[in-house]
A = this chain, B = another copy of it.
């Protein structure tokens, strides 16, 4: 993908977050990564979405060195970089403070797989990170946010579980492209909303059986998928 095309895609993903009601003011950020050139394109920090243009986005390398752009990158850039470095195949990262997903993060509770809507996208709960230590917070906070996510994903395939709740904070989502990551951010909020309603109807609502969870996940993912059109 040309760098210009990546700028356009990252801009569009950022604007999708606004259209879907996932962000207010300057909350949230989306980035895309091109492994061929090693370049990351990310939203500038604290700039209103309606002022974003492809040219206002910031381009860095995987060390966070600014290659193009006159604005500061999103302060969460180091978290994005940590995820690109640790999760092979991930080429888009989206962070929002969407209400329902953030509420689960604030409650310190993973989102259980309570229904087939969830299982269509995630083959298990949406995990939550453990608390960060005072040291991790005080120095290199955003980088360490990435590290606590990565530690939490020991033994979990990030492409089968493309989102996490950072405890006390909010969700991070990712995918094979920034478009996919933004799509996942919308779905995570929808799933979080339904799970909220479910546990407030019935606090001890049970998770889906493994059989039903796998059935729905595999209808849409993997070699036996039969949802959607042949591509």
Contacts and interface: CB of A to CB of B under 8 A. Distances in A.
A27 B194 CA distance: 14
A168 B212 contact: yes
B194 A115 contact: no
A25 B141 CA distance: 35
Contact of A115 (B71, B131, B168, B205): B168
A151 B190 CA distance: 31
Interface residues of A, number: 62
Instruction: Please give the count of copies of this chain that the complex contains.
Output: 4
Contacts of A229: 44-47, 71-72
26 contacts: A24-B190, A25-B186, A44-B229, A45-B228, A45-B229, A46-B227, A46-B228, A46-B229, A47-B229, A72-B228, A75-B227, A100-B197, A102-B117, A106-B195, A106-B197, A106-B205, A107-B198, A108-B202, A108-B205, A114-B168, A116-B169, A116-B170, A132-B212, A134-B211, A199-B201, A200-B200
Contacts of A208: 168
Interface of A: 24-27, 44-47, 71-72, 75, 97, 99-100, 102-109, 114-117, 131-132, 134, 137-138, 141, 168-170, 183, 186-187, 190, 193-202, 205-206, 208-209, 211-212, 215, 219, 226-230
